[in-house]
Each structure stands twice: as C-alpha cells, then as structure tokens.
Amino acid sequence: MAEPSAPELSVARDVLPKLQWAYLGLCSWEYLTHLDHDWRLARSALPWRWPLTTWAYLLSRYSMLLTAILPISGLGTISCNAVMRVFFVFPCVFYLSSTYLIVARTVAIWARALWILIIAGLGILTQLVVWVHALAIFQAADILLPGMPTPICAPIEGQSIQSTVITNAGVDMVVLALMFVGLWRRPETRAQGNVGLVHVLWTQGLVLLAVVFIAGIPLIVVMTLRVNDVAFSIAITTSFTLQGLGSTRMARNLYVDKTLAPVAMEGNASTSSGQLELSTVNVPVSYLDLSCAGNKAESSSSVV
C-alpha cells in the first residue's frame, strides 16, 4: 500500500475518532439493553458448569465492548507496543467466540454431520493459528503524523490485522453458507415458497448474520486491496459490529423464542430459570429429521 497523502491523513484524523465513538455507542447500547439476559444466563449455573456456548456468548459480548472502550480510554503510561498488543487480544477473543456460536448453530442444524464437524473444526483452527501468528508479528510505535502536534500510538505494519480480519471473514462466510443451505434444504422451509428462508432467518434471529454473508465479498475485497486507511477501518468496524450483534442475537433468540424450543426428552433437566440451555444449541425437530418418540414428537440436538 502506498504512503497516505496529506488529504487522506486529514480525513483519517476527522473520520476515525468519530467512527470509534459511534462504535462505542452502538456496543454500549447493545450491552445495556440485554444486560438482564446476561445476568439470568450467568446465574443459572455455577461458572465451572457453564457449557462452551455460554462461555462463547459472554466472551463475545464483553470482548466486543472492551474492544470499543480500550482504544478510546488508553492504558496510561504503558508502552505503545504493549498497549496495542492488549488491544489486539480482545478482537481475537471476540472473533473466536462469536465464530464458535455460529459454528455451534450450524453443526446443530446439520445434526452433527461428520463432514460439517470437520469443516467447522478446521475453520476455527485456522482462525486460531492465524491469530497466534499475527500476534507474534504485530508491532506498534509512537508515530508523528503530518499536522499533528504529538505522536500517536499506531501499528507500524498492516499484515497482522489484514490477515486476521480476512481469515475471519472467509471462515464465517463458509460456515454461514453451510448454515443457510442447511436451513433451506428442509422441506418445511421450501414449502413456504420464496419467503420460506426469509421467514426462518427472521424468526431464528439470523437476519444480521445474513447481512454479514451478503456483505462478506465486498468487505473482503476492500480489506484485501486496502485502498486507504479510512475505507479499511470502516470495513473492519462494519464486519466486526455485524458479526457481534448477529451472533449474540442469534444465541439470545434460542432462549426467548418458544417456537425454537423442543420439549426436553425424559431425563433431561431444565435450567433453574426455565429457559433453554444454549449449551445444547437446541433447534426445532423439523430442522433435524430426528426420530420422534411416540406421540410426543420431541427431540433435541446438542453441541457441547
């Protein structure tokens, strides 16, 4: 990428702080409006008995919020490189946890098919490997930009950020494609005609994730070409926000939408709050073709 010109730097100084504050406002609003759900979820069991999907949901929510807060607040007198590495860790936690929520849902929809498990596992493993490598090569320093009175702490190389964001977007697009195909292939979905999949996406809280999928290719193109820092930052923030809001809303929808909650089979204990365990990523029987017992027609799928 070529060195930014003076006008580009001026635009970046004007736009990026506003983008950070707008992102912080959106994350704060999302956090506060659903804090009651977090509280009920956290107190339904002791932390060491939480399933992986509960951990993933809470980690996704709070790492998303911290990713918005820390760049604005800073960490005092800690060295620039150390501060930026801390900032780099929280998006890593966010991407892995939110992707796990999407993967768990996809695996449940496909009734834990082996080939889906392999693809999903390779996707998450790829993300983890790329993030570890990116963290190892990440470097930041105090840079004095033209027209600014004091240096600012900023990354001095872009490969680490670029590779992690593109990898995450690519993995998510593959998993989301499998999710939507799994939903569309159901006779119940196709029976509703052209609006069948749209209805399913709406009722199951998957609309924002559908937007992530549709916008995935142009976002990847922008992030790959990296024409300028402003467009690059907007693309990252957009992808980050849509994935965070979409994955956590999908997870919450499993608790509050009773149409998605099959009655537990005999011997299965319900939660103390009377809600679904997100640990099982329960899906309707009609989406899994699971055998039904007697006249109950009850079953569930679990993804630990």
Average pLDDT score over residue span 158-185 = 86
Q: By mean pLDDT, which of 32-41, 55-64, 146-155 is the weakest?
A: 146-155
Q: How confident is the model at residue 256, as a pLDDT?
A: 58
* Interatomic CA distance for residues 162 and 184, integer angstroms: 33
The DSSP symbol for 253 reads: H
pLDDT level of residue 23 (50, 70, 90 thresholds): confident
How much of the chain, in percent, has pLDDT values that exceed 90? 8
Residue position matching structure tokens 């499998």: 178
* Main-chain dihedrals φ then ψ at residue 170, nearest 5 degrees: -65, -45
* Interatomic CA distance for residues 234 and 298, integer angstroms: 45
Q: What is the pLDDT of residues 100-136, one digit of tens each?
A: 998 988 888 888 889 999 999 999 999 999 989 988 8
Q: How many residues does the chain have?
A: 304
Residues 6+ apart with CB under 8 A from 75: 82, 83, 86
Higher pLDDT, 284 or 49: 49
pLDDT level of residue 144 (50, 70, 90 thresholds): low
Res 202 pLDDT > 50: yes
The model's pTM is 0.74
Determine contact, residues 92/135, Cβ cutoff 8 Å: yes
Q: For residue 286, which amino acid is it?
A: S
Q: How confident is the model at residue 299, as a pLDDT?
A: 34
Please tell me which of 17-21, 78-82, 93-97, 141-145 the model is most confident about, judged by mean pLDDT.
93-97
Q: How confident is the model at residue 2, as a pLDDT?
A: 47
